Amino acid sequence: MPNQLKSLSKGLNVYRFIIDYGKPILAVTLCEKLNIDKSTMSRILKTLKEEDFISYLENSNEIIANDLSNKTNQSTKIELLIKATKFLLEEISSKTNECAYLGIFDDYKISYINQIDLSNQKLKTRNNIGIKTNLHTSALGKSILAFGNYDLEKIKFNQYTTNTITDIKTLNNELSMIKNRGFAIDNKEYQDRMSCVAVPLFNKENILIGAVGISGNSSRLKDNKLNEIGELISDIVSKYSIVY
């Protein structure tokens, strides 16, 4: 059996055992019951948690299985949001001549769930769908933080470039500025040669549901251009009533 299939089989066996156990269980107990070494079990549990199949009880090392119906419902909601914003992303990409993105808050990360590129740029942006990045490093993430209600203490201020925000005070100042102007900018804060602009996205009930924006090469997205695009995207989004 190929190694990938063996790993998948082990992971499924662990997940099934957690479900059948019927109560919170420790990793050491799983190792004993399933005869799996600690390092392998650690990798399996890390993957199951990242994919939202398991959780740890608060302030403990006890593991429980998540309700997969919630996972299915979340997938359905994401599909509906993608459909509801398709034309919005197309218009943003067309009018900015850059790649347009849709992102949502996901456990103190920004998750890229869709992108549309109608630009005529020779070098196209890579496919970012499914990628998760830190909130403080992206325009999508910062626009969500600015207009949402989140605990900034939970953010891990990893540094990626010399422009990356690395502390809460600086981030708070940035979020205040974003609230005032209505859009967020990532000026080479995650990648040295990439800049982004994003605005928060609300549904028709005025509930924050995500963010939309663009990214492109910093050589053509100078400060004035970034601000110009931010205002343009804000105007575009204001015309849409998102039913979601």
| Least trusted range by pLDDT, from 49-53, 132-136, 238-242 | 49-53
| Whether residue 6 has pLDDT greater than 70 | no
Q: 144-200: per-residue pLDDT in tens?
A: 999 999 999 999 899 999 999 999 999 999 999 999 999 999 999 999 999 999 999
Report yes or no: 134 and 156 within 8 Å, Cβ to Cβ. Answer: yes
| Whether residue 3 has pLDDT greater than 60 | no
pLDDT value at residue 202 = 94
Checking 46-51 for CB contacts under 8 A at 24+ apart, the result is 47/11, 48/11, 48/14, 48/15
What does pLDDT average to over the chain?
89
| Least trusted range by pLDDT, from 20-24, 25-29, 116-120 | 20-24
Spatial neighbors of 196 by CB under 8 A, at least 6 apart, are: 101, 138, 139, 140, 185, 186, 190, 213, 214, 215, 216
- The stretch 91-105 carries a mean pLDDT of 96
Q: How far is CA 216 from CA 22, 91, 121, 132, 174, in A?
A: 49, 16, 9, 18, 21
More confident residue, 5 or 182: 182
- The 3-state secondary structure of 61-89, one letter per residue: CCEEECCHHHHHHHHHHHHHHHHHCHHHH
Q: What is the CA radius of gyration of the chain?
A: 21
Tokens coding 199: 């605005």
Predicted TM-score of the model (pTM):
0.71
